[in-house]
């Protein structure tokens, strides 16, 4: 309620509001730290492993698109069951700087850790590490490192590492490794864990030449080639000797000798990565590329890389930053979330963002609907070029989607439920292939991007292609019944505790949006549509299907049905479900989950968020209360949309706690899965929970619409949106909402809705409106027993 002076927007913040810190007390949650400290530029990702490579829970570097294939085998096979699946693999690991002190390797599980800290600096985009360690032999050293994955140079990452004696002289051996086919530990028996391929890389070239190291490998089945070069710079006392050696899977630079007090070794590794299809580049071509990149980075120096990094982040934060006054922990957490969203994507090329970004191998590194459903709705407003790139990636795989639809004997295109290469990789079709809503999610993301930008090339090109292809799917898949209504039967919606249902409300409404969006686009661009064979009759068919779309409703209970008949299903026996029974999917068969009224994740509630105009306020309130009582949030995709609707309906404490659950999902490892990689959808959801929840943003109409309302816990909430190229800055307090165009030329204006009032926001002056009083929303709807989010 009382903003302190240092919390003005665009003013410098205290450093600690930008830093994630882990110390020796956190060494028992190493896997989680590796994910939280992962660095990425949307193409190249490094997990936040220790420089010395051990202890480690899951080593991992990732290049967007680099993968191997593995066979899927089924106890009982079926027609069009995918026979191959993509699995993310790691290129050679260039992070490693191993240290021996006397005879002992630096290993924080041994000796004495006097100090240990890793700091992720969200503005600098680096990890600073400081360790003071006394070996079991009694030798003390201080190790520092700074690591970055360059946002400015796609292929480049670097480690700047030093060691010095703590007091007396020490013998050191320093091994800077570039290591291929590093062993990846098997994870516990969990259906959601990754499927590992050991030794996926076949060596093609290994070379060491002074301080320059190179490895080129290829994969066998996906036929990809990957090259990594490391250019070293070493500053060491003269008495140290340097050696280098190379084997097919490892190149190593070794410095050996004694360090006296006050002496130190600084070793900087400049690594460059590239991969390409085997047929597209020769070994030497790829080798030359990465060698030149690494060399250029070394020439420019680590300081220059840091400067570039800061500049890139300053630019990104200008739009991405969110101010959340009143809760220091969540202020830092939302910045952490935004940092990972910034570094998950890239504007160049046709690239998408896997569900875990490039932070871990969870879900086999696959792209799921998380991207279009939870990440692009954020990026569209803070980095639209990145959203464009991700949608162009879908478009680049449109032919595969048409082919898949033909294989399934469907019309139009069917995008994969999970994939890296564009092929369908789902091995459990009721929750994969049957989840056709992914196609509408893609269309929804197209419509949002097109609505928020002036990108005519995309609108009339890839965007139109995607809208038409997906509309054709629904038109052929759905059917009219005798009463003239249109139905979509036998699909699976977002809620994975139901499957193969009829008229899933989310799917139906999203398909309606898809059909209408395609019809609008085709009519707006008849020539482009004509090239796709779209004629007025087809458009009329889309409109007819959209208008007749069924919204299952239970008049007796006065609520919509998640799917036809849902509310007639038996209730879940929460009384006999223990706290240890969650997540339910690990303790109950699908047979039980599917037939009960138990909801894994927001489904109908998500429909009310995506298609808000389809429901009255009373319907939303009734639906929310009904489904809140049956939603167990066993998915990290759930808290955010529930939080948005809770906010809309005035249950602001619940909304705030749901926001907290979403934003802390990984920082506090709430699902015990962060070690597999970050939940980008949950991090994106955190922004949505704030901006759509407390900001009340809705974007389903021509203009942006805000219905802001703040919970007591937030003194001030400020965020930015890029709207047709202009940065709209929104500041909310308990008393007022302020809309500004801080960067715009004088003649720029943006129209928007604020609590039903149409505003015109002009450059140069803030448009300010009072916050209306909160309506009485009644008591908070109960969550399932024991499943309310933690109260803050």
Could you tell me the smallest distance in angstroms from the CB atom of residue 364 to its own copies? 10
Among 347, 437, 382, 369, smallest CA distance to 690 is for 382
One residue of 16, 25, 28, 76 binding its own copies per CB under 8 A: 76
Q: Which stretch binds its own copies (CB under 8 A): 143-151, 269-277, 293-301, 425-433?
A: 425-433
- Residue 154 in contact with residue 66, Cβ under 8 Å? no
| Footprint on residues 485-514 left by its own copies (CB under 8 A) | 487, 489-491, 499-500, 502
Q: Which stretch binds its own copies (CB under 8 A): 9-17, 568-576, 624-632, 692-700?
A: 568-576
Could you tell me the smallest distance in angstroms from the CB atom of residue 77 to its own copies? 4
Q: Residues 6 or more apart from 59 whose CB is under 8 A from it? A: 47, 49, 53, 90, 93, 182, 184
Nearer to its own copies by Cβ, of 71 and 618: the residue is 71
**369 assigned to a ligand binding site:** yes
Could you tell me the smallest distance in angstroms from the CB atom of residue 190 to its own copies? 8
For residue 118, the cross-strand partners are 22, 129
Could you tell me the smallest distance in angstroms from the CB atom of residue 296 to its own copies? 43
Bridge-based pairing of strands 749-754 and 704-706 is parallel
In our burial notation (b when 16+ CB lie closer than 10 A, e otherwise), range 779-789 reads ebbebbeebeb
Q: What is the DSSP string of 303-346?
A: HHHHHHHHHHHHHHHHHH--EEET-HHHHHHHHHHHHHHHHH--
State yes or no: residue 553 binds its own copies (CB under 8 A): no
Nearer to its own copies by Cβ, of 197 and 658: the residue is 197
- Residue 234 in contact with residue 186, Cβ under 8 Å? no
Measured distance CA(645)–CA(605) in Å, rounded:
7
Nearer to its own copies by Cβ, of 290 and 498: the residue is 498
State yes or no: residue 430 binds its own copies (CB under 8 A): yes
Bridge-based pairing of strands 212-219 and 201-209 is antiparallel
Could you tell me the smallest distance in angstroms from the CB atom of residue 375 to its own copies? 23
One residue of 2, 16, 78, 747 binding its own copies per CB under 8 A: 78
Could you tell me the smallest distance in angstroms from the CB atom of residue 588 to its own copies? 6
Q: Which stretch binds its own copies (CB under 8 A): 125-133, 422-430, 663-671, 725-733?
A: 422-430
Q: Which stretch binds its own copies (CB under 8 A): 78-86, 294-302, 450-458, 724-732?
A: 78-86
* 555: exposed, middle or buried (Cβ count in 10 Å: 0-12, 13-18, 19+): exposed
Distance of alpha carbon 488 from the chain centroid: 30
In our burial notation (b when 16+ CB lie closer than 10 A, e otherwise), range 201-238 reads bebbbbebeebbbbbbbbbeebebbbbbbbbbbbebee
Over 647-680, what HEC string results?
HHCCCHHHHHHHHHHHHHCCCCCCCCCHHHCCCH
From the candidates 496, 628, 661, 780, give the one annotated as an active-site residue. 496
Measured distance CA(675)–CA(654) in Å, rounded:
28
Could you tell me the smallest distance in angstroms from the CB atom of residue 505 to its own copies? 15
State yes or no: residue 653 binds its own copies (CB under 8 A): no
Could you tell me the smallest distance in angstroms from the CB atom of residue 781 to its own copies? 21
Measured distance CA(639)–CA(102) in Å, rounded:
51
Measured distance CA(500)–CA(431) in Å, rounded:
8
Q: Which stretch binds its own copies (CB under 8 A): 13-21, 112-120, 167-175, 432-440?
A: 432-440
One residue of 188, 591, 756, 770 binding its own copies per CB under 8 A: 591
State yes or no: residue 595 binds its own copies (CB under 8 A): yes
State yes or no: residue 572 binds its own copies (CB under 8 A): no
From residue 15 to residue 54, the character string flagging contacts with its own copies as x (rule: CB under 8 A) and all else as - is ----------------------------------------
From residue 163 to residue 202, the character string flagging contacts with its own copies as x (rule: CB under 8 A) and all else as - is --------------------------x-x-----------
Q: Residues 6 or more apart from 413 whose CB is under 8 A from it? A: 398, 401, 402, 404, 405, 439, 469, 470, 472, 473
- Residue 534 in contact with residue 468, Cβ under 8 Å? yes
One residue of 429, 497, 506, 659 binding its own copies per CB under 8 A: 429
Q: Which two tokens stand for residue 321?
A: 């930053």
Nearer to its own copies by Cβ, of 14 and 74: the residue is 74
- Residue 686 in contact with residue 662, Cβ under 8 Å? yes
Nearer to its own copies by Cβ, of 18 and 594: the residue is 594
Could you tell me the smallest distance in angstroms from the CB atom of residue 576 to its own copies? 9
State yes or no: residue 558 binds its own copies (CB under 8 A): no
Nearer to its own copies by Cβ, of 78 and 756: the residue is 78
**393 assigned to a ligand binding site:** no
Nearer to its own copies by Cβ, of 235 and 480: the residue is 480
The DSSP element (H or E) to which 543 belongs, if any, is helix 536-547
One residue of 108, 166, 385, 408 binding its own copies per CB under 8 A: 408
**13 assigned to a ligand binding site:** no
- Residue 46 in contact with residue 157, Cβ under 8 Å? yes
Q: Which two tokens stand for residue 476?
A: 């052929």
Measured distance CA(609)–CA(488) in Å, rounded:
20
One residue of 73, 279, 578, 702 binding its own copies per CB under 8 A: 73
Measured distance CA(178)–CA(772) in Å, rounded:
60
State yes or no: residue 555 binds its own copies (CB under 8 A): no
Nearer to its own copies by Cβ, of 82 and 671: the residue is 82
Look up tokens 């410095």; give the residue.
Answer: 255
**259 backbone dihedrals φ, ψ, rounded to 5°:** -115, 125
For residue 442, give the 3-state DSSP assignment: helix
Q: Is 71 a catalytic residue?
A: no
| Footprint on residues 253-292 left by its own copies (CB under 8 A) | none
Could you tell me the smallest distance in angstroms from the CB atom of residue 231 to its own copies? 42
State yes or no: residue 587 binds its own copies (CB under 8 A): yes
Nearer to its own copies by Cβ, of 438 and 640: the residue is 438
Q: Which stretch binds its own copies (CB under 8 A): 115-123, 380-388, 402-410, 678-686?
A: 402-410
Q: Which stretch binds its own copies (CB under 8 A): 179-187, 228-236, 339-347, 581-589?
A: 581-589
Q: What are the helix (H) ranges across 57-210?
A: none
**561 assigned to a ligand binding site:** no
Angle at 125 between CA 166 and CA 56, to 5 degrees: 60
Q: Provide the total of helices (H) and of strands (E) in the chain, helices listed first.
A: 20, 31
Nearer to its own copies by Cβ, of 2 and 556: the residue is 556
From residue 451 to residue 490, the character string flagging contacts with its own copies as x (rule: CB under 8 A) and all else as - is ----------------------------x-xx----x-xx
Q: Binding site: residue ranges? A: 369-370, 600-601
| Catalytic annotation, residues | 496
Q: Binding site for substrate: residue ranges? A: 369-370, 600-601
- Interface residues with its own copies (CB under 8 A) are 72-80, 82, 85, 189, 191, 408-410, 426-434, 479, 481-482, 487, 489-491, 499-500, 502, 556, 564-565, 568-570, 585-592, 594-595
């Amino acid at each position: 309620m009382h903003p302190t002076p240092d919390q003005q927007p665009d003013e410098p913040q205290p450093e600690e509001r930008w830093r994630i810190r882990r110390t020796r007390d956190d060494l028992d949650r190493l896997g989680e730290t590796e994910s939280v400290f992962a660095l990425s530029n949307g193409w190249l990702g490094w997990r936040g492993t220790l420089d010395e490579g051990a202890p480690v829970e899951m080593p991992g570097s990732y290049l967007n698109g680099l993968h191997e294939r593995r066979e899927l085998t089924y106890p009982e096979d079926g027609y069009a069951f995918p026979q191959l699946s993509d699995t993310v693999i790691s290129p050679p690991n260039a992070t490693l700087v191993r240290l021996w002190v006397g005879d002992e390797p630096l290993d924080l599980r041994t000796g004495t850790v006097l100090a240990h800290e890793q700091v992720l600096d969200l503005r600098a985009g680096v990890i600073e590490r400081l360790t003071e360690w006394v070996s079991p032999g009694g030798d003390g050293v201080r190790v520092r490192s700074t690591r970055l994955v360059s946002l400015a140079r796609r292929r480049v990452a670097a480690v700047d590492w030093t060691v010095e004696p703590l007091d007396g002289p020490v013998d050191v051996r320093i091994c800077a490794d570039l290591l291929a086919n590093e062993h990846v530990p098997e994870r516990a028996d969990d259906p959601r864990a990754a499927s590992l391929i050991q030794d996926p890389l076949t060596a093609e070239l290994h070379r060491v030449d002074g301080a320059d190291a190179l490895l080129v490998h290829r994969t066998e089945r996906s036929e990809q080639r990957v090259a990594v070069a490391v250019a070293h710079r070493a500053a060491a006392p003269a008495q140290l000797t340097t050696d280098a050696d190379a084997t097919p899977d490892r190149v190593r630079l070794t410095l050996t000798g004694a360090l006296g007090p006050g002496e130190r070794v600084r070793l900087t590794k400049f690594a460059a990565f590239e991969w390409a299809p085997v047929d597209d580049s020769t070994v030497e071509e790829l080798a030359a590329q990465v060698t030149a990149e690494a060399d250029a980075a070394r020439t420019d120096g680590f300081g220059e890389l840091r400067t570039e990094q800061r500049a890139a982040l300053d630019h990104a934060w200008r739009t991405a930053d969110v101010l959340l006054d009143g809760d220091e922990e969540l202020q830092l957490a939302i910045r952490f979330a935004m940092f990972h969203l910034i570094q998950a994507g890239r504007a160049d090329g046709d690239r998408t963002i896997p569900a875990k970004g490039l932070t871990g191998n969870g879900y086999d590194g696959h792209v799921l609907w998380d991207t279009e459903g939870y990440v692009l709705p954020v990026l569209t407003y803070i980095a639209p070029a990145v959203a464009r790139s991700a949608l162009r990636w879908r478009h680049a795989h449109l032919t595969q989607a048409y082919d898949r639809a033909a294989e399934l004997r469907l019309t139009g295109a069917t995008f994969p439920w999970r994939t890296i290469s564009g092929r369908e990789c789902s091995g459990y079709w009721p929750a994969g292939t049957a989840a056709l809503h992914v196609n509408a999610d893609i269309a929804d993301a197209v419509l949002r991007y097109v609505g928020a930008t002036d990108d005519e090339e995309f609108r009339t090109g890839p965007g139109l292609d995607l809208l038409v292809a997906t509309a054709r799917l629904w038109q052929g898949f759905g059917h009219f019944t005798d009463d003239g209504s249109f139905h979509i039967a036998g699909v699976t919606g977002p809620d994975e505790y139901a499957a193969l249902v009829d008229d899933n409300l989310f799917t139906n409404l999203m398909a309606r949006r898809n059909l209408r969006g395609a019809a609008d686009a085709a009519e707006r661009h008849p020539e482009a549509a004509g090239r796709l064979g779209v004629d007025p009759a087809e458009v009329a068919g889309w409109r007819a299907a959209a208008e007749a779309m069924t919204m299952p409703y239970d008049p007796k209970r006065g609520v919509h049905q998640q799917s036809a008949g849902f509310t007639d299903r038996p209730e879940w026996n929460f009384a006999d479900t223990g706290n240890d029974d969650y997540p339910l999917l690990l303790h109950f068969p699908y047979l039980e989950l599917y037939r009960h009224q138990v909801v894994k994740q927001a489904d109908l509630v998500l429909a009310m968020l995506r298609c808000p105009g389809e429901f009255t306020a009373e319907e939303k309130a009734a639906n929310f209360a009904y489904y809140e009582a049956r939603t167990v949030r066993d998915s990290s995709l759930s808290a955010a949309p529930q939080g948005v609707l809770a906010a809309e309906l005035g249950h602001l404490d619940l909304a705030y706690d749901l926001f907290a659950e979403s934003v802390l999902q990984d920082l506090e490892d709430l699902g015990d899965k962060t070690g597999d990689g970050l939940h980008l959808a949950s991090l994106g959801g955190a922004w949505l929970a704030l901006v759509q929840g407390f900001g009340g943003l809705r974007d389903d109409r021509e203009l942006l619409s805000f219905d802001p309302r703040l919970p007591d816990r937030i003194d001030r909430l400020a965020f930015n949106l890029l709207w047709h190229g202009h940065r709209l800055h929104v500041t909310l307090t308990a008393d007022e909402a302020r809309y500004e165009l801080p960067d715009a030329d004088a003649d720029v204006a943006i129209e928007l809705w604020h609590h039903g009032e149409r505003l015109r926001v002009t450059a140069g002056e803030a448009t300010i409106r009072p916050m209306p009083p909160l309506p009485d929303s009644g008591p908070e709807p109960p969550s399932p027993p024991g499943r309310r989010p933690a109260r803050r």
